[in-house]
Amino acid sequence: MANGILIVDDAAFMRMMIRDILTKNGYEILGEAENGQKAVEKFKELNPDLVIMDITMPEVDGIQAVKEIKKISPDAKIVMCSAMGQQAMVIESIQAGAKDFIVKPFQADRVLEAVKKVLG
């Protein structure tokens, strides 16, 4: 069964990289968003099985978006993306309700491992 995923990153090329990795491995991408505000709107609209969320974005960051999404759906499954050296933000996002994190630059197998683990 295909799992619907929402990809959130302010960099279009990062969204494209994640989309490529996931679609090649049988996952369905329901939508994309470029900031936390749009992520929350898209989450309400699409009700994805999983959200892959960048931490550092303009307007509303990933941590705030996780908190908002968790208010809407306490069971929401979210995997965070972070650059190296953002440990404090990763910890904060996990405390906010994210289930796992992936470090940029992405390793395709690590992305897939996190997605499989969180989706069960």
Domain ranges of the chain: 9-112
Residues of the chain with pLDDT under 70: 1-3
Number of C-beta neighbours around residue 25 at 10 A: 12
pLDDT at 90: 86
pLDDT at 83: 82
pLDDT at 1: 41
Work out whether the CA dihedral 21, 26, 27, 33 comes out positive or negative.
positive
Q: φ and ψ at 105, to 5 degrees? A: -70, 145
Considering only the top CATH level, what class is 9-112? Answer: alpha beta
Number of C-beta neighbours around residue 120 at 10 A: 6
pLDDT at 82: 86
Tell me the C-alpha distance between 65 and 83, whole Å: 18
pLDDT at 2: 54
E-state strands within 9-114: 28-33, 50-54, 78-83, 100-104
**Look-up of token digits 């979210």:** 78
Helix%, strand%, coil% for the chain, nearest 5: 50, 20, 30
